Structure 1
Amino acid sequence: MVNSKTCIIDNGAYTAKVGLSTDEAPRVIPNCVMKAKSERRRAFIGDQLKDLKDASGLFYLLPFQKGYLVNWDIQKTVWDHIFSPDSSGINLNDANVIITEPPFNFSTIQEGMMEIFFEEYEVESYIRLSASKLAAIHYANERENQVSSCIVIDMGYSFIHIIPFIKGKYIKKAIKRIEVGGKVLTNYFKEVISYRHLNMMDESYVANQIKEDVCFVSENLHEDMKNAQKKGKDRIFTEYILPDFSNVKRGYIRKPEDVITDQQTVKFTNECFTIPEIIFHPSDVGIKQMGVAPTLLESLKSCEEYTHPVLLSNIIVIGGCAKFKGMKERLFKEIRCLIPNDLPLNITIPEDPISYAWQGGKEFSNFPNYFEMTVTKAEYEESGVQAANKFELFE
């Protein structure tokens, strides 16, 4: 079988990263259906949101809940849009498909996905992998020594997963999950803005944009709290110009030289760094779990002690929350305090942590034994969903 056409789908709970193995980079498409107050008769699927003039008061229909695919109608609508001739131009008929799934995915979801791709889209071959596995593959290929042992911290929309890999295989008992992700941060940010400034409880889309623009991870929380209360040049202060969807389509941080006329603004101080603090202290919002650093240490304890130096030397952070400024420095500081001084520590955050796993899928599609690991159309027609049992041999 010749690997002529492979489609990689990093099917995240917030965005789907989709592209062919011949593409340089994937298309990043919102994995949802949206309805707007301004256009009640039309639903906007995925990246159709760019056609919407007024994005205030968006109502989201999400295929994922709590990190797992539960609404098949919404997901199929998004996939049909992505693979329509007018959208991406990707025809899945007779294509090879690599798709991602969350760790410990339910067997019913796995079977449903396989049935859709073989029976609805008539793909030639199919394989499902976790985004962390693809990230580990890409990380190994980027290193000169082709290191195949690492820890992947996947800061996604619904969860943070910490997954150690030893010689390319994940250690199942060491996988840890924190029930904090981009969705929790955005929802908490909405509450804070609504309590302190103006009501944005129905403005998830705008609040998420503000979070992405103004928030950063504090390297010294107590010092930054003091600076936020100061007056003068050293004060931590950000003035944000809100979109009116007429003159300002997307909000932005006001610069000193910007002239304000009729635009509405919000002034932020400690909100900029206390929101991402939930990643390190989930108990701040009532989630009774440890932060990312002590959870990583617990994951490490589940691995053989001789693997600790190589794992700590190769920590890779992916996902949307990895884009917060200061994340690498704070993680290093937190983890360094918890491990012995004689152990090495190196943390890598890619330039594009969102599409990093997709790039790993692109490299995986060129493995010499790629088709040995996939389920082909002939195998599916013979054995049905039971053909997926072969995936366990390569995990």
Structure 2
Amino acid sequence: MDKQKENKRAQMESEFDVKDIIVIDNGADSVKIGISGEDHPRKIVDIDAMRDMYVYVLDQLLQVNEISSCNILIIDSPLNSKEYKKQIADILFDDMKVNSVLFQNSSTLSLFSTGETTGLVIESGHSQTTCIPVFEGFPILHAFQHTNLAGQKITEILKEVKYIYYFFFLINTYIIKELNKASSITVTDAIYKSIKETMCNVARDYHIDLNNDNISLEEKSYELPDGNILDITNTMKYKPPEILFNPSIIGDNSMSINQMIMDTLGRCDNEFQEELLRNVVLCGGSSLFKGFLQRIEKELISQVPSHIQRKDINFIQNSHRRYSAWIGGSMLGSLSTFQSLAITKNEYEENSEQKLTIINKKVF
């Protein structure tokens, strides 16, 4: 982050009026929770039943004394229906009696975490990869694009790669040893997830990297918890994340990340395109792959319209990008304007016949 952006973020932070706003990011793989003003979520928990999860979060994890005084920020996806939001609001207001709730778009918050309010946000998480333009804090939903090719599918492809079959015996041997500690499914998934996160890379040129023999022993060796060493082939290393950039290799006709970017830009005016590309934010757990930024940059620069200066395209890939949306929520929850944006319990109860309308008006 350059000096100008650091100053802009510092200016935002200087306006914070810290209150106990509880920030909850309902991810597909995990839930990130904590208090506004904090740099990282306090707890990351697996999703179970929504109502039970909220009770557990407030009562056990955060040890809130008076739930009725709680103000909640729910980090939301544009793919979630209004009815889904109403169900969450009903749980929080009717069952738990919280004071106020604000639903906020995850991409907007990811952008906000960088100190910007206008930009193009590419978020690749567990179950979805999304591309959405944001203007002055408001998502431009008519230009929104998404695909189900993301972290979960990448793990599935890693499991399916034929070169991985030869070490099933090693994995199963380890599972047998661990049966008294955890289920076989948990152990297997944990191993595959670890292989994915530590060994898989995004290729700069897929076919060239796939045939590259100059890979160090360290880069192609994965140690299982029991000490056995797995030899990671180039196919295992590069094919799983390649589906984000070339879905056709698995017979999928979804748009690639760069196709989504170009489609999104094409739905925006030319002048707005230039402004968006000054802040291209890469975030979500799947953006952590080595080579992710370089591949997007390489393809985008070769595809953008001629009226856009290549030197004006700026990518933002912060170290906290796995939790960008939560951190942006933490910052927003610390602003003195939070209560003016949120739905209050009184407002929700007084308009029982118009709950969906209220939610629709106050979802950003």
Normalised by the shorter chain, which TM-score bucket?
Answer: 0.7 to 0.9
Q: So what's the TM-score if we normalise by structure 1? A: 0.76
Distance 1:385 1:296 in 2: 40
- Mapped pair 1:138 → 2:113: yes
Task: Summarize the Cα distance change of 1:194–1:79 in structure 2 as closer, same or farther, 3 Å threshold.
Answer: farther
Kindly indicate whether the alpha-carbon contact (under 8 Å) linking 2:202 and 2:292 is maintained by their aligned counterparts in 1. yes
Write out per-residue CA displacement over residues 20-68 of structure 1, whole angstroms, 9 at most, x where no aligned residue.
11433212423235xxxxxxxxxxxxxxxxxxxxxxxxxxxxxxxxxxx
Shift of 1:380: 1.5
Distance 2:88 2:302 in 1: 43
Counterpart for residue 289 of structure 1: 254
Kindly indicate whether the alpha-carbon contact (under 8 Å) linking 2:75 and 2:326 is maintained by their aligned counterparts in 1. no
Task: Summarize the Cα distance change of 1:294–1:235 in structure 2 as closer, same or farther, 3 Å threshold.
Answer: farther
**Equivalent position SS for 1:350:** coil
- Mapped pair 1:347 → 2:315: yes
Q: Aligned ranges for residues 1-395 of structure 1 at < 5 Å?
A: 4-33=19-48, 74-85=49-60, 87-91=61-65, 92-139=67-114, 142=115, 147-192=116-161, 194-198=164-168, 202=185, 203-227=188-212, 230=213, 237-244=219-226, 263-270=227-234, 271-340=236-305, 342-343=308-309, 344-384=312-352, 386-387=354-355, 389-393=357-361, 395=364
Write out per-residue CA displacement over residues 220-239 of structure 1, whole angstroms, 9 at most, x where no aligned residue.
22332221xx3x66689511
Task: Summarize the Cα distance change of 1:90–1:351 in structure 2 as closer, same or farther, 3 Å threshold.
Answer: farther
Kindly indicate whether the alpha-carbon contact (under 8 Å) linking 1:138 and 1:357 is maintained by their aligned counterparts in 2. yes
Kindly indicate whether the alpha-carbon contact (under 8 Å) linking 1:374 and 1:391 is maintained by their aligned counterparts in 2. no
Distance 1:21 1:385 in 2: 32
Distance 1:194 1:238 in 2: 13
Counterpart for residue 47 of structure 1: none
**Equivalent position SS for 2:90:** helix
Counterpart for residue 3 of structure 2: none
Shift of 1:98: 0.3
Task: Summarize the Cα distance change of 1:194–1:226 in structure 2 as closer, same or farther, 3 Å threshold.
Answer: closer
Distance 2:37 2:257 in 1: 36
Q: Which amino acid aligns with 1:16?
A: V
Shift of 1:148: 2.7
Distance 2:233 2:209 in 1: 10
Distance 2:193 2:133 in 1: 30
Counterpart for residue 10 of structure 2: none
Kindly indicate whether the alpha-carbon contact (under 8 Å) linking 2:85 and 2:359 is maintained by their aligned counterparts in 1. no
**Equivalent position SS for 1:100:** strand
Distance 1:198 1:226 in 2: 24
Write out per-residue CA displacement over residues 272-331 of structure 1, whole angstroms, 9 at most, x where no aligned residue.
122110110122223211210111000100011111111111110111001111111111
Write out per-residue CA displacement over residues 369-391 of structure 1, whole angstroms, 9 at most, x where no aligned residue.
32222111111221137345345
Counterpart for residue 53 of structure 1: none
Write out per-residue CA displacement over residues 193-239 of structure 1, whole angstroms, 9 at most, x where no aligned residue.
65343166942222111111111111222332221xx3x66689511
Kindly indicate whether the alpha-carbon contact (under 8 Å) linking 1:294 and 1:338 is maintained by their aligned counterparts in 2. no
Distance 1:233 1:119 in 2: 58
Distance 2:247 2:156 in 1: 14
Kindly indicate whether the alpha-carbon contact (under 8 Å) linking 1:280 and 1:292 is maintained by their aligned counterparts in 2. yes
Task: Summarize the Cα distance change of 1:78–1:390 in structure 2 as closer, same or farther, 3 Å threshold.
Answer: closer
> Where in structure 1 are there 5+ consecutive unaligned residues?
34-73, 245-262
Q: Which moved more, 1:101-110 or 1:326-335?
A: 101-110
More helix as a share of residues: 2
**Equivalent position SS for 2:25:** strand
**Equivalent position SS for 2:281:** strand
Write out per-residue CA displacement over residues 58-85 of structure 1, whole angstroms, 9 at most, x where no aligned residue.
xxxxxxxxxxxxxxxx233333332333
Shift of 1:3: 7.0
> Where in structure 2 are there 5+ consecutive unaligned residues?
1-16, 173-184
Kindly indicate whether the alpha-carbon contact (under 8 Å) linking 2:19 and 2:334 is maintained by their aligned counterparts in 1. no
Distance 1:276 1:98 in 2: 32
Task: Summarize the Cα distance change of 1:236–1:333 in structure 2 as closer, same or farther, 3 Å threshold.
Answer: farther
Q: Which is bigger in relative contact order (C-alpha 8 A, separation at least 6)?
A: 2
Kindly indicate whether the alpha-carbon contact (under 8 Å) linking 2:18 and 2:335 is maintained by their aligned counterparts in 1. no
**Equivalent position SS for 1:275:** helix
Task: Summarize the Cα distance change of 1:355–1:28 in structure 2 as closer, same or farther, 3 Å threshold.
Answer: farther
Q: So what's the TM-score if we normalise by structure 2? A: 0.82
Identity of aligned pairs, percent? Answer: 26
Counterpart for residue 59 of structure 1: none
Kindly indicate whether the alpha-carbon contact (under 8 Å) linking 1:379 and 1:387 is maintained by their aligned counterparts in 2. no
Counterpart for residue 180 of structure 2: none
**Equivalent position SS for 1:213:** helix
Q: Which moved more, 1:294-303 or 1:235-244?
A: 235-244
Task: Summarize the Cα distance change of 1:27–1:375 in structure 2 as closer, same or farther, 3 Å threshold.
Answer: same
